[in-house]
Amino acid sequence: MTSSSIRSPRRRGRSIRRNFALAAIVAGTLSLSVLVAIAARQHDDRIQLQLQRDADALTALGVTGVQALVVTSDDRNLTATSGVADLTTRQPIPRDGYFRIASITKAFVATVILQLAGDRGLSLDDSVERWLPGVVSGNGNDGGAITIRQLLQHTSGIHDDYPDYTSAQDFYQHRYDTYTPEQTVARAMGHRPDFQPGTDWSYGNTDYVLLGMIIERVTTHPWHEEVRDRIVRPLGLDHTFRPGTSPTLPQPHAETYQAFNPGEPPVDVTEQVGMGANGEAGLVSTTADLNRFFRALLGGRLLPPAQLTQMKQTIPVSKEFEQFMPGAGDGLGLFSRPLSCGGVYWGHEGGDSGWISAAGVTADGLRSITVSLSGVLADSADDVLRVEQAQSKLIDDALCTTTDADHQQR
């Protein structure tokens, strides 16, 4: 018998042990992968359950329809809907429906202004008079004393004289009316300023109408074309657009309703041009597109660092405004809000006839939530406040629960 024959059983034993060891490592790796996948599903289920509870809480307050979309830091999408899309047919709310985003449009306009500042096309400290000579004047209004930064941050002092519907009859009579930027500004110039520029804060739509006019003066293109070419197309926001004078929305969408006076039946206000369409509002979008926009913005994909830093420099809002958005700080086209789990989130809200919408994203741009409410049937300011509080809770729960889940997965 040779020496190699004598050692062969030992070699076979070592080979078997190595194979067992490799098998154990592979099995352990597979087990870990399975456990991670199970944990991820459990985290998703937790977020989804809370999101659904919060959406149902809003419909319990009289909102006819809710759609909400959360995007986690690893790009998982979680959706909740509640209520109905149509009070007559009782069809369910679409998970990806179009809606008028109203004042969330301001975040798009502010982004374009800051891009122009980054391109050195203008300075945030330029006066309004420099770009729009003679437009802000009369009754104590002075465009030479107001800067672009003050327009962005609602410290211009310009008084808003903004058209609004006062009754169902008024709505039906004027829902197809349109207003040029010049007409909106002229209405505001019929009033004295609310305060001297830079001395106080007051949310104003006319500020952003003027910013839209400045974009056109600097670029020679309407504000919405600049938004399209600088933001919508590069990010692939295929469901974000300005409908112009079209009063209808693409399918799918929820019908929306408004009760103009306490005790009156709700009116279907879905078909309307919308009072604001000149930069203070005017865009239609979806929850998915708005999440993508705010994640790109806070993630540094739309602005150079210097401009994004300026955008996030906040000042306190008024006490009247803060009762609806506790702890809010106003940046340049963005609001910050505190999170119950620590830190802040960034975003914007919008309200139009029948709609309330809000978007929020964490400071790193990795986690986001967009919610759209249709048919907000509120009889009083207290009712509106309760809806606002429930919507804020939905956003806070979504971002904080997602944060917990991300930490656990790490």
CATH (domain of 273): 3.40.710.10
CA dist 1 to 4, 5, 7, 10, 275, Å? Answer: 8, 6, 11, 15, 101
DSSP state of 345: E
Q: Is residue 49 part of a domain?
A: yes
Provide the domain count of the chain: 1
Q: Is residue 114 part of a domain?
A: yes
Q: Is residue 107 part of a domain?
A: yes
Question: Which residue in 397, 154, 129, 105 sits closest to 278, CA to CA?
Answer: 105
Structure token pair of residue 326: 């506790």
Bond into 92 cis (ω within 30)? no
Strand ranges, E, within 167-253: none
Q: Is residue 15 part of a domain?
A: no
Distance CA 405, CA 39 (A): 9
Distance CA 30, CA 33 (A): 5
Q: Is residue 277 part of a domain?
A: yes
Beta bridge partners of 358: 349, 371
Distance CA 330, CA 177 (A): 31
Q: Is residue 124 part of a domain?
A: yes
Structure token pair of residue 181: 């930027």
Q: Are 211 and 113 in contact (CB under 8 A)?
A: yes
Q: Are 286 and 93 in contact (CB under 8 A)?
A: no
* pLDDT of 25: 62
Structural domain boundaries enclosing 68: 39-409
**Based on C-alpha coordinates, what's the Rg of the chain?**
26
Distance CA 148, CA 313 (A): 15
Q: Is residue 18 part of a domain?
A: no
Distance CA 21, CA 331 (A): 58
Q: Is residue 173 part of a domain?
A: yes
Distance CA 286, CA 237 (A): 9
Name the 3-class secondary structure at 367. coil
Residue with tokens 């009760």: 259
Going residue by residue through the chain, which has 410 residues, state the pLDDT in tens, using 9 for 90 and above: 444 444 555 556 666 666 666 666 656 666 655 655 555 566 678 889 999 999 999 999 999 999 999 999 889 999 999 999 999 999 999 999 999 999 999 999 999 999 999 888 899 999 999 999 999 999 999 999 999 999 999 999 999 998 888 899 999 999 999 999 999 999 999 999 999 999 999 999 999 999 999 999 999 999 999 999 999 999 999 999 999 999 999 999 999 999 888 888 899 999 999 778 899 999 999 999 999 999 999 999 999 999 999 999 999 999 999 999 999 999 999 999 999 999 999 999 999 888 899 999 999 999 999 999 999 887 788 888 999 999 999 999 999 986 544 444 43
Distance CA 111, CA 334 (A): 10
Q: Are 133 and 274 in contact (CB under 8 A)?
A: no
